[in-house]
Copies of this chain bind each other. A is one copy, B any other.
Amino acid sequence: MTMGLSSSGEQRRSQLLRGVLDLCLLSLIAERPRYGFEFTQALAAGGLELISDGSVYPLLARMERAGLISSYRAPSASGGAPRKYYRLTEDGRAELTRGRDEWHAFAGQVGRILDDFASTGDDTP
């Protein structure tokens, strides 16, 4: 049976990620070319402990198919399978800029809704 409904907090986290995960990856790639394993580490370092690589790799594949990023192979620096590095295309950079604006607008609107209404009933002095 399913047991997924118990923790609404963790569940919300998954849902929140949906809207911004691609943007975060684009942003990380914008700094410098990166490979799959790096993303989960970098996101966790930024406070977003989240994603199994099972979420990252399909998303990278989707974005490459959409022309937002391109990839090249390079040997691993620490002994192992060769890495697949991704870098931004111009479309990807444009999408990042647009997406960042969208995010800021969205975050502002949500914050306002949560702040304006949530504390109206002040029955907990």
Main secondary structure of the interface of A (DSSP, over half): helix
* Inter-subunit contact B114/A8 (CB<8 Å): no
A2 nearest CB across to chain B (Å) = 9
The complex is assembled from copies of this chain, and their number is: 2
Interface extent on A, as a size class?
Answer: 35 or more
A22 to B11, CA, bound (A): 12
* Inter-subunit contact A114/B100 (CB<8 Å): yes
- Is A96 among interface residues, defined by CB-CB distance under 8 A? yes
- Is A61 among interface residues, defined by CB-CB distance under 8 A? no
Report which A residues bind B (CB closer than 8 A). 5, 8-9, 12-13, 15-20, 22-24, 26-28, 30-32, 43, 46-48, 66, 88, 93, 95-100, 102-114, 116-121, 124
